[in-house]
Structure 1
Amino acid sequence: MTATRGKSTAASATPRSWPRLGDLALDTAHGDRVGVIIGVPGEDGSDWLTYHLHPCDGGPEWSAAADASTLRPVPSPVTHATSGEGMVHHRPGRHWAWPIRLHHEDGSVEDCSLVVTETQARHLATQIRDHLPPLPGPAEYLTDGPGSDALPPLTDLLAEIRGLDAGPLGSHAAWGATAPAAFFTWLASTLPITSAASLVITHMLPGQMDFLNALGHATKIAAVLPKPKSANDFVVEQTASRFRCDELERARFADPDWLTGYVRDRAAGGRVVLTDIGGYFAPALAELCARLPGQIAGVVEDTENGHRRYEALPELPCPVYSVARSPLKEPEDRLVGEAIVFSVETLLRHLGDVLQGRQACVLGYGKIGAGIAAALHSRHVRVLVLDIDPVRQAQALSVGYGSAELAEALSSCDLVFSATGSRALAIKHLPLLREGAFLAGATSRDDEFDLSALSAPDSGYVRAELIPGVSRIRSDEGRSFFLLGNGNAVNFLHTSAMGSAIHLVKAEMTVAAALLAEEQHAPGFYEVSPPYRASIAAAWVDAFGSRSGRYL
């Protein structure tokens, strides 16, 4: 049948939105050829029975079916995209959706979302951080001039991705603290998302709380319990604004009735992971597991003292992941030794004295004891080391430290450091101390010393505080010694700064908690696998290692 031209009788029909005269169109019936529509069928004043197209690249014109079934729109090229607001984190899908607006050559705009994985988001944030010029000062920033509002969405974006609170102006401090957040954002991206809860016993010290972001990704944090002797008020306040914080008291946690009620309330009927520092859950753990069957996913223990408490139980009622002997904890243990000696030196200087030239005795040559000995040696202190383990004693002698019997060491040393975790010194040893000696502990008072009798009225000793953290204890015979930190870990008098090394063990504890939350484990001791430790270490090196002239 031959097509003939004629006037449209549908002048009153609703005008079509596309294709229209002048639109670009791709014709699938002609090998995806693109052309400009120069004739539209059926429109008022048109005598076309088909669409007529003129090629953009020259050549003969052609026709397309009147129902436009073979035509496809050709959008105007995109010139650029701009950021929108309201970035959304889709936790189950592990991706971010970032609202953006596409701008086309013809002036049209199109709203859509840029979807990136958590890892891509972290890399994006790192690139922005590394290439962003210095932030303007407050006076310049608060002006209403052009572009004055360009930076907050960017810093808000980085804050959201990295779990920071950059504040309304994106402070320099927040930007300087992004490496830990980036490290734990990476860690979170590797962890399973579970329905389990976690109860978190932890030190609350500056620069050490970023791990909660990753742990909160894998579990619901039911409560954070600050260790009383290592809780910075400002850090506690910040943490309490995000998580429930409960009081930690060892006597309560040793009471099965109280602990069962507490865990039952916080777990709300679900499985719960107990993260521990020092074996707080150990005394009542068997009763707890028996009274809440199937709910205790397991324990993650940080310290050697805590490890020994769980090890001493007649039978483990649940799985226990211990990081106390992990190679990732060794840097922290060495730094703890350094921090202890730093705090002792600080206290001595407040008293007008110094470490150099003195003789010290270190009881216990584990990782922390070895760190104490090394820190003392670097300050030109003569060091004796005593350990009941002959292997460790041989290690100390082989690197040049002296040795002696306990009575001889106590009577000849100006400084005594106890790092055994097993009550190496009791009140019976006090008469052996050299006059004016300083006594310092590396862990809690109950773990290092058996000095509870000192507080008894008939103990024969009188205590007087000289300065915060230093007490002189004088016997009825007139002999005296100085107890530092009230017998507790003396490094916590000065926040026990660990630097970025603390994040290694916090990351391993977080992984262990996620493993317990994800899968049922039989009762027993467990460790995080070497491959997972290696991936943690590699990511830590990437986040904190030397890069572009930056050193630890």
Structure 2
Amino acid sequence: MTTASPISERLDEVGSARDAGRKKIDWAFEHMPILSSLRADFQENEPLAGETVGMALHVEAKTAALVETMADAGAEVAITGCNPLSTHDDVSAALDAHPSITSYAKHGVGDEEYYEAIDAVLDHEPTVTVDDGGDLVFRVHEHHPELIDTIVGGTEETTTGVHRLRAMDDDDALEYPVIAVNDTPMKRLFDNVHGTGESSLASIAMTTNLSWAGKDVVVAGYGQCGRGVAKKASGQNANVIVTEIDPRRALEAHMEGYDVMSMSEAAEVGDVFITTTGNRDVIVKDHFEQMQDGVVLANAGHFDIEIDLEALREMADSEQEVRDGVREYELPSGKRINVLAEGRLVNLATPVSLGHPVEVMDQSFGVQAVSIRELVENADDYDAGVHEVPDHLDRKLAEIKLNAEGVELDTLSEEQEEYMTSWQHGT
């Protein structure tokens, strides 16, 4: 009887993971008509020939569809994760098997290894950066400034990253153009609302095996992501409480029928808390002290700073993993507080998380793809700083999606067009 060597066993494991990742990517492509349409065009015309695309994204199946579309457009691609817990190792293995793609993404890495992987991506000397959260762009400016002159531009996927880049731009510290993919309608009206809302609630429910019906669900922040979480939770028969710092958003939430409170008030009554602000210290020590026994805390913002876990650890007499992805902190009073996914992005960082629905990410990654092409083809039109997605590209993607769904639109007649563009028509 012959026993397989450790090396051959490892190769079998890698091959198995690669095959599993391949199936996930193929399934995603089947449900991504926008990206599939763009991929066919990119394969024919190769608009990114000669370019190197460096990426820091959540490495899972939908992202992989974008990555492979970039490779099909003629680019060499290097990618790593933008969150230590969101990488699917099988998808990373499948990407790395592509001749034009190198993946450094690995699940569960520490901070040092996380930034080493970003540096490895930058060692490929990308001419385009694609970011989710801003870490890649900041790493370029802080540690690899020699790359700036050869980078034609970049794109940023998420709210937190755009906030950071706009602050950088305001300080005249952003030295190449970046398109704010997050801010365009085909991204924020669908990805942020439906994607974040559906995927966050699904991940929380699957991780805890608890129902939403009848629960007091506290949503911190009523931006696009908070709106989505509140809407989806209400649709599953939860009582939604919103906390806000902006008076107009608070009023909007109130007029939508939600209870609006300060976090201090909400801490006393909430069963589940979901942070969506993109800011730090949203739930802190004073709030932990007011919470009920058994509450669940989850973060749907990009970074793990919205819930003050350091303070919670210092307060707790003990802590333990009570379910996969659920850490329980027991306070001196005997009260237990449960934190999901180590306070990281809950829709991507629990063991059962799958991220946004495929159809939603088809739109967001379609915007990414055309924005990258735009930067390469029209580089001279973009100065250093944050830029919007050209509106005609955003609208075109909506048309592709509607055609794929079999949805028809009305069109304006010549008389209607003239009426809408004239100032001479009155009563």
Shift of 1:264: 5.8
Question: Structure 1 residues 509, 179: closer, same or farther in 2, change over 3 A?
Answer: closer
C-alpha change, 1:426 and 1:190, in structure 2 (3 Å) is: farther
Maintained 8 Å contact 2:152/2:375:
yes
Q: Distance in 2 between matches of 1:182 and 1:507?
A: 9
Q: How does 1:3-152 map to 2 (within 5 A)?
A: none
Pairing partner for 1:183 from 29, 37, 51: 37
Partner of 1:324: 182
Alignment of 1:237-256 (within 5 A): 237-242=93-98, 243-247=101-105, 251=111
1:484 aligns with 2:340: yes
Counterpart residue identity of residue 542, structure 1:
N
Change (3 A) 1:368 1:282: same
CA 311–251 in structure 1, closer or farther in 2 if over 3 Å, else same? farther
* Residues 544 and 448 of structure 1, relative CA distance in 2, 3 Å threshold: farther
Residue from 425, 433, 443 that aligns with 2:301: 443
In 2, the alpha carbon distance for the partners of 1:213 and 1:263 equals 16
Give CA-to-partner distance per residue, 1:310-342, whole Å, 9 cap, x none.
Answer: 122222111111111111112112222111112
Deviation at 1:276, TM superposition (A): 0.3
Q: Are 1:337 and 2:197 matched, yes or no?
A: yes
Q: Give the AA of the match of 1:528.
A: V
Which residues in structure 2 correspond to 1:487-506 (within 5 Å)?
Answer: 487-492=343-348, 493=350, 494-506=353-365
In the other structure, the counterpart of 1:543 is 404
Instruction: Give the strand-richer structure, 1 or 2.
Output: 1
Pick which of 183-192 and 393-402 moved more.
183-192
Residue 449 of structure 1 aligns to a residue whose secondary structure is coil
Is the contact between residue 319 and residue 525 of structure 1 (CA under 8 Å) also seen in structure 2? yes
Deviations 1:439-466 (A, max 9, x none): 11103452422323445xx544421111
Structure 2 equivalent of residue 223 of structure 1: 78
Contact 1:454 1:461 survives alignment (8 Å): no
State the SS of the aligned residue for 2:61: coil
Say whether the 8 Å CA contact 2:59–2:87 is kept in structure 1.
yes
Question: 2:29 matched to 1:203?
Answer: no
Residue 524 (str. 1) matches residue 385 (str. 2) = yes
CA distance in 2, matches of 1:415, 1:320: 36
Secondary structure, aligned partner of 1:476 = coil
Matching residue of 1:129 = none
Closer, same or farther in 2 for the Cα pair 1:395/1:253, shift >3 Å? Answer: farther
The 8 Å contact of residues 179 and 389 in structure 2, kept in 1 or not, is answered as yes
Quote the Cα distance in structure 2 between the aligned partners of 1:260 and 1:420. Answer: 25
Structure number with higher helix proportion: 2
User: Shift of the alpha carbon at 1:401?
Assistant: 0.6
Q: What is the one-letter code of the residue matched to 1:537?
A: A
| Whole-angstrom CA distance in 2 between matches of 1:388 and 1:412 | 19
Q: Cα offset for 1:281?
A: 2.4
Quick one: distance in 2 between partners of 1:234 and 1:392? 41
| 1:56-106: CA deviation from partner (whole Å, max 9, x where unpaired) | xxxxxxxxxxxxxxxxxxxxxxxxxxxxxxxxxxxxxxxxxxxxxxxxxxx
* 1:319–1:526 CA contact under 8 A, matched in 2: yes
Provide the C-alpha distance between the structure 2 equivalents of 1:471 and 1:540, rounded to a whole number of angstroms: 40
Tell me: CA distance 1:205–1:293, structure 2 relative to 1, closer, same or farther (3 Å).
closer
The percentage of aligned residue pairs carrying the same residue is 23
Question: SS of the counterpart of 1:345?
Answer: helix
Residues 351-387 of structure 1, C-alpha deviations (whole Å, 9 max, x = no match): xx42211111110011111111011111111111111
CA contact (8 A) 1:445 1:486 kept: no
1:280 alignment counterpart: 135
Q: What are the superposed Cα offsets for residues 197-217 of structure 1, whole Å, 9 maximum, x if unpaired?
A: 111122222344222233224
Report the counterpart of residue 508 of structure 1 in structure 2.
367
| Residues 340 and 261 of structure 1: CA distance in aligned 2, closer, same or farther (over 3 Å) | closer
C-alpha separation in 2, matches of 1:505 and 1:465: 34
Counterpart selection for 1:374 from 231, 240, 251: 231
TM-score by length of 1: 0.61
After superposing the two structures, state which structure 1 stretch, 271-280 or 369-378, moved more. Answer: 271-280
**SS state of the match for residue 135, structure 2?**
coil
Aligned: 1:347 with 2:207 = yes
2:69 corresponds in structure 1 to 214
Q: Is the partner of 1:438 in helix, strand or coil?
A: strand
Question: Who is 1:84 aligned against?
Answer: none
Root mean square deviation of aligned Cα = 3.0
Alignment partner of 1:473: what SS?
A: strand
Any conservation in 2 of the 1:321–1:527 contact (CA below 8 Å)? yes
Partner of 1:408: 265
- CA-to-partner distance for each residue in 1:117-160, whole Å, 9 max, x for gaps? xxxxxxxxxxxxxxxxxxxxxxxxxxxxxxxxxxxxxxxxxxxx
State the aligned residue count.
368
**1:394 counterpart residue number:** 251
Confirm or deny: 8 A CA contact 1:356 1:381 kept in the other structure. yes
Is 1:364 the counterpart of 2:221? The answer is: yes
Runs of at least 5 residues in structure 1 that lack an aligned partner in the other structure: 1-164, 167-171, 548-552
What SS does the aligned partner of 1:435 have?
coil
SS at structure 2 position matched to 1:244: strand
Matched residue SS, 2:401? helix
1:232 and 2:96 equivalent? no
One-letter amino acid matched to 1:272: T
Higher-Rg member (1/2): 1
CA distance in 1 between counterparts of 2:29 and 2:384 reads: 43
8 Å CA contact 1:362, 1:386 repeated in 2: yes
Partner of 2:275 in structure 1?
418
